[in-house]
Structure formats: structure tokens, C-alpha cells
């Protein structure tokens, strides 16, 4: 009798495991790849969407805006994350704006420099100015941090300052915003550029950085929202063709008033007017 009871329990256990595996395999899945700027926001959207759709899984992977474009075109991703406007050569894709952001220069908070002109920023990144003393700081060498190829932050930085990447004399190459923030927080004399939303959040939560504006404008989410910050951008998710079914539901959700609080928590600017 005890043997029979054991086998009954084992059978029930196997059936439950099989049922759970079937449920997971039957779950609907949306894969997003691309911009590391947008990824944390999409993860939050994904968690909220999964609560409304329990049998849906939202998988978010980073790798830069270029990856978002390439994966969407190749069908490797359902939706790409691209933190810039689409170019003329990307007309085969459709952009769906989910928020707005800007790009800020950041330096260590102990650095006494409080402002840099656009001309000084260009000179620093071209290697023509390599000591903080030249721009009103201490006699310390400048550590120039640049973004890796394929990052939309790099593309927008170069476009605004009318530079080519081959002109940049970088000491450190970084990928995502968090890597840039950690690099500057740990290096007293470094300079980098990252998402305003990410930088503002980290600064207000104790990270050892401070933001420097461009074009004589203060770098803040407020200035982006008011429309006068020159180095701002849309945060887009992109599809190959008009989205249908679950993809459309997710995109509609990502552009709705339901996610305004999540956008604000990430220090981005909502597309929804209050």
C-alpha cells in the first residue's frame, strides 16, 4: 500500500510539472531589444503589462539602438528600442514615441567646474584641451569618456556638436548610461555624456556626479519638458510594419495614461498631456 501511495504521489508530481511546463510554453511572448536608455522603462512597462495579461511575457534585452533596428528588421525582435528619431534610411520601420529625454554632460561632483561652453566641450573631446585648468578647474588631466559605436547617444552627441567619431580623443569607451555614470562617479577628473533622465535620477540618489548643460541651457528633465533644451530626443519603440494583436496592445499601453507614473519615476518626459 505504501508503494502504491508513493507512485500515486510521484504521478501527481510529474503531472503538475508537465502542466506548469505546458503553461510556460503556451505563454505569449514579446521580445524587445535595443537602446539601454529605454530598456529600464520597458522593463517597468513589461511588468505592469504582464499583471494585466498573466499569460504574457515581456523580454527586454539591451545592445544599443542599432541592435534594435537590426533585430527588428531581421525578425529577431518583435519590437526595437531606439532612443532617437528614425533616419531616412530606416523608412521600412515605424516609430512609436513613448517618452522624451535629453543628453547631459556629467562630471564628478567634486570637480569645481560648473559650466562649459559648447566650444570648450568640443575642444575637450577633440583632445585640444586636456587639462581642467584650461577651463577654470584644477591642474588635473581630463579623462574623456566616449560612447561605443551603435549607441544613439553617441550619434546625437556627434550631430549636435558637428563632430565625427574619428575626431574624438577618448580615454575610455563605455556602453550604457550606468557604465558612464559609474565611471565618472569613480573618477574625479572624468567627463562623459549620458541620458538626462538617468543622470538626474542618480544625482538625486547620491551618485557622485553633477550635470552640465549645453548651449547655455540647464540640463534637466524640466528644461526638456519645457522644450528649450537643445540636446533632446524622442524615445521610440519601433516595429516592422503596423503592429497587430498583442504587439499593438503593448504599444498602446506604452503610450497610454496608465504608464505616466512609470515614465516620471524613470525621470523621462511623458508624451501624455496631464
Cα–Cα distance, 106 to 180 (Å, whole number): 9
DSSP annotation of 132 reads G
pLDDT of residue 9: 57
> Under CATH, what is the fold of the domain 101-226?
D-Maltodextrin-Binding Protein; domain 2 (3.40.190)
Residue-level pLDDT at 10: 52
What's the confidence (pLDDT) of residue 27? 66
Question: In this structure, are residues 164 and 149 in contact, taking their beta carbons and an 8 Å threshold?
Answer: no
Q: Are strands 79-82 and 232-239 parallel, antiparallel or unpaired?
A: antiparallel
DSSP-derived secondary structure for 7-31: HHHHHHHHHHHHHHHHHHHHSEEEE
Q: The pTM is what? A: 0.74
Q: How far is CA 232 from CA 54, 78, 115, in A?
A: 36, 26, 19
Q: Do domains 2-100+235-270 and 101-226 have the same CATH topology?
A: yes
The SS3 assignment for 210 reads: strand
State the Rg of the chain over Cα. Answer: 23
pLDDT in tens, the chain (274 residues): 455 555 555 555 555 454 444 444 446 999 999 998 899 999 999 999 999 999 999 999 999 999 999 999 999 999 999 999 999 999 999 999 999 999 999 999 999 999 999 999 999 999 999 999 999 999 999 999 999 988 888 988 999 999 999 999 999 999 888 999 999 999 999 999 999 988 998 999 999 999 999 999 999 989 998 889 999 989 999 999 999 999 999 999 999 999 999 998 888 889 987 6
Record: fold of 2-100+235-270: D-Maltodextrin-Binding Protein; domain 2 (3.40.190)
* Every domain of the chain and the residues it spans: 2-100+235-270, 101-226
Amino acid at each position: 500500500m505504501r508503494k502504491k501511495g508513493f507512485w500515486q504521489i510521484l504521478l501527481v508530481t510529474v503531472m503538475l510539472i508537465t502542466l506548469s511546463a505546458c503553461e510556460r510554453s503556451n505563454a505569449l511572448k514579446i521580445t524587445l531589444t535595443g537602446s539601454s536608455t529605454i530598456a529600464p522603462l520597458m522593463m517597468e512597462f513589461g511588468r505592469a503589462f504582464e499583471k494585466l495579461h498573466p499569460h504574457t511575457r515581456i523580454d527586454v534585452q539591451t545592445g544599443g539602438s542599432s541592435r534594435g533596428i537590426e533585430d527588428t528588421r531581421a525578425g529577431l525582435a518583435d519590437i526595437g528600442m531606439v532612443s532617437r528619431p528614425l533616419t531616412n534610411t530606416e523608412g521600412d520601420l515605424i516609430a512609436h514615441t513613448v517618452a522624451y529625454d535629453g543628453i547631459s554632460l556629467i562630471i564628478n561632483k567634486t570637480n569645481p567646474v560648473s559650466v562649459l561652453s559648447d566650444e570648450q566641450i568640443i575642444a575637450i573631446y577633440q583632445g585640444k584641451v586636456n587639462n581642467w585648468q584650461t577651463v577654470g578647474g584644477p591642474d588635473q588631466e581630463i579623462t574623456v569618456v566616449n560612447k561605443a559605436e551603435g549607441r544613439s547617444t553617441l550619434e546625437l552627441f556627434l550631430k549636435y556638436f558637428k563632430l565625427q567619431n574619428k575626431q574624438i580623443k577618448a580615454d575610455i569607451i563605455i556602453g550604457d548610461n550606468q557604465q558612464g555614470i559609474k565611471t565618472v562617479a569613480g573618477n574625479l577628473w572624468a567627463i562623459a555624456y549620458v541620458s538626462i533622465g538617468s543622470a538626474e535620477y542618480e544625482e538625486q540618489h547620491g551618485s557622485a556626479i553633477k550635470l552640465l548643460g549645453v548651449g547655455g541651457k540647464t540640463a534637466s528633465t524640466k528644461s526638456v519638458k519645457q522644450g528649450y533644451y537643445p540636446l533632446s530626443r524622442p524615445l521610440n519603440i519601433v516595429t516592422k510594419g503596423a503592429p497587430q494583436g498583442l504587439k499593438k496592445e503593448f504599444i498602446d499601453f506604452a503610450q497610454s495614461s496608465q504608464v505616466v507614473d512609470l515614465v516620471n519615476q524613470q525621470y523621462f518626459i511623458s508624451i501624455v498631456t496631464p
